[in-house]
Amino acid sequence: MEQEALSISNICGGAVEEVFAREMGIILANIADQNTNPEATRALTLEFKIKPFKDRSGAQIEFACKSKMAGVDTVKGTMFLQRRGTALVAVPHDPRQSRLFNPAAVPEGPDKKLQ
């Protein structure tokens, strides 16, 4: 009986097709991610290292898959430092401005003054 020829489908026990499908799914998700640059190039590299046996009767095959995704776009924000007792914490809004938007500080009529 004739042996099956080596192919991309059966090399490394079928791992190549399985890994390729998984990594391609990750690339597609990265492309669809609104937080990444839509124009950035993604890459998928399949690498095979083939090391012959000393007697040349065959070879050891090592397979690796490397992928490169677009990183998350840079987003800038601010933080402010505030003391709470003896601890220093970061807060998203300037704590010195919070009174401006405090409903209790808004006057109820034209003759009322801010407290």
pLDDT in tens, 35-60: 999 999 999 999 999 999 999 999 99
The token pair that represents 1 in the structure block = 């009986």
The token pair that represents 106 in the structure block = 């808004």
Give the chain's residues under pLDDT 70: 98-115
| Cα angle: 73, vertex 74, 78; to 5 degrees | 145
Length of the chain: 115
Predicted pLDDT at 115: 47
Structural domain includes residue 62: yes
CA-closest candidate to residue 50, choices 42, 41, 59, 38: 59
Structural domain includes residue 100: no
Structural domain includes residue 79: no
Q: Are 67 and 45 in contact (CB under 8 A)?
A: yes
pTM attached to this predicted model: 0.65
Question: How many domains does the chain contain in total?
Answer: 1
